[in-house]
Amino acid sequence: MNMHSIETNALTLSYGDTIIINELNVKIPKGEITVFIGSNGCGKSTLLRSIARLLKPKEGSVLLEGKAVAKLPTKEVAKQLAILPQGPVAPEGLTVLQLVKQGRYPYQSWLKQWTEEDETAVKSALEATGMQDFAERPMDSLSGGQRQRAWIAMTLAQKTDIILLDEPTTYLDMTHQIEILDLLFELNERENRTIVMVLHDLNLACRYAHNIVALKDQKIYAEGRPEEIITASLVQNVFQMKCEIMVDPLFGTPLCLPYGRGRRIGKEVKKLGL
């Protein structure tokens, strides 16, 4: 049994002559949440797009369940993985239901029209995201958090074992960030979905990820369990930021407290022994 949903072999990605990712080898654990972290422009989103076959490698390959993704039919890929890019925009006037139904596109053909299975998939996706009461609402009438839930519902309707998300919490307030990440965590726990995300918030990445991949200088700087790899040294080298790493008092996961200017009120916090 292949314990990795996705693997890359000597993957090199570029935009024109500019190399973004250079001969990268990474294995995404099956049935876990993996988060890509790194400074702006390090190639996190580019790597995610390549895994989803939205960007052709300059060299190397991406394997999906052991098969080269470049050689698989588009609809076959869409039945195995769904991707939610950063800041997706729905056509004006499109309702939540119409959007979520688009997630069933890979299963349609001129021989096989809309089925009861499609209907069930859409209904369960709406329920899983708490969007069933908004089904007839236009997307442009929703709040940021509701829109993001609708897009996630569309990816769920694809019924894929793998879900890729590029900064799914961007532009959301704190409450909606936690709601979205809780939803993805529950999908992983309940349905064993493999989830791969790009996140900017290191503390949320540590809280939700089973596996973190830190990118720097076109390669992997470190990868593994957050509690094993997230150190003050890693943050300094990857983000050029001095910090202390503490223990999250709620979850026991690494908690990054950056240095900088601000009010000091004299209280000491116990450091994490890393």
Question: Going from the N-terminus, what domains does the chain have, and what CATH number goes with each?
Answer: 75-166 (3.40.50.300)
272 and 260 Cβ atoms separated by less than 8 Å = no
pLDDT given for residue 34 in this prediction? 98
The whole model's pTM is what?
0.89
Tokens of 253: 């996961």
Q: Please work out, in degrees rounded to the nearest 5, the angle formed at the alpha carbon of residue 258 by the alpha carbons of 32 and 42.
A: 55
Q: What is the pLDDT of residues 23-67, one digit of tens each?
A: 999 999 999 999 999 999 899 999 999 999 999 999 999 999 889
Q: Three-class SS of residue 183?
A: helix
**Closest to 28 in 3D by CA, of 229, 238, 210:** 210
d(CA 38, CA 31): 23
Tokens of 85: 């890019």
Q: What is the pLDDT of residues 221-237, one digit of tens each?
A: 999 999 999 999 999 99
Q: Name the residue with tokens 């349609």.
A: 108
SS3 per-residue string spanning 32-47? CEEEEECCCCCCHHHH
